Amino acid sequence: MKKRIVIALGGNALGNNLEEQYLAVRNTAGPIVDLIEAGHQVVIAHGNGPQVGMIQNAMTALHKQNPEKYGECPLAVCGAMSQGYIGYDLQNALREVLLERGIQKPVTTLITQVEVDLADPAFQNPTKPIGSFMTKEEAEILQARGENVVEDAGRGYRRVVASPRPIGIVELESVKTLMDAGQIVITCGGGGIPVAKQENGKLMGVPAVIDKDFAAELLAELVDADMLIILTAVEKVAIRFRQPDEQWLSEMTIGEAEKHIAAGEFAPGSMLPKVQAAVRFAGSGKGRTALITLLEKAAEGISGQTGTRVVGE
């Protein structure tokens, strides 16, 4: 049965720098085109952790070199830059594989803004480190300007920003229009460019990082996907991970997953948001299923042969 699928690509599918990314996306494109060739409609979201950090560091260095000529670059702008250059490599890799297989399908990267709520509690407790390490003196300058800076394990000081939950996708109608036209859409890169609505209705970029799994989940809901596939570095989700009684899971109901979450089975910042996003999607509508697995196992996971499926009760 053909499905509408949202795929959330993790950092392991994109590499950590320009050269690694160029090579990684070519390995990434094959399994995605496998799904397209099987008749599924695919929408792609992705992370941008290493990439946006690299851009932020470069822009900060440029500002330090000549502060009068080059102003500081907002994090939201760095996020937009990362969407463009990741999308450039990824869409070209997909096009190459599609052409090799004789499939005529256009691929489009959409610079995507994702709305957050400034009342989200995450803004009261920023925890997401970004940018390069700083000296104590540099950190104090930022703190005096109201920035949140923390000492990082004796390695120096780093700026931290909030990681709020996404509440809307600004370019959603554009995504749907492209999908209806038969295009493969790359969207919500890095969780989306975080924006908030002002009183006048205009959008304002905010210094935050949205978890790409939560953004992909919201995207999957809003485009009425049948399946959300969250790709990661393991074939299945485990409880008691790396312990003698480690157990790999082929399926979890929403209730089972919530019990494991409550028991602290999944690491924050790693598997936890993936399982939380999977639970939310599986509970968002009848017949919706989430799958967590390796990129190269996605096709097998759809057919139920591997991966961890999260399903409704």
> 200 catalytic, yes or no?
no
Distances (CA, A) of 235 to 149, 152, 243, 287: 36, 31, 17, 23
Q: Which of 131, 189, 212, 307 is catalytic?
A: 212
> 168 catalytic, yes or no?
no
Contact 210, 191 (CB under 8 A): yes
Q: Which of 236, 274, 297, 307 is catalytic?
A: 274
3-state helix, strand, coil in the chain (%, to 5): 40, 25, 35
Distance, CA of 131 to CA of 125 (rounded, Å): 18
Distances (CA, A) of 141 to 71, 156, 164, 173, 221: 16, 14, 25, 42, 42
> 136 catalytic, yes or no?
no
Contact 80, 193 (CB under 8 A): yes
Distance, CA of 150 to CA of 128 (rounded, Å): 10
Q: What are phi and psi of 164, to 5 degrees?
A: -75, 160
Q: Which of 15, 47, 87, 128 is catalytic?
A: 128
> 64 catalytic, yes or no?
no
How many Cβ atoms from other residues are within 10 Å of residue 219's Cβ? 28
Q: Which of 11, 47, 49, 190 is catalytic?
A: 11
CA torsion through residues 109, 115, 118, 122, sign: negative
231: tokens are 């790709």
> 259 catalytic, yes or no?
no
Residues recognised as catalytic: 11-12, 128, 212, 274
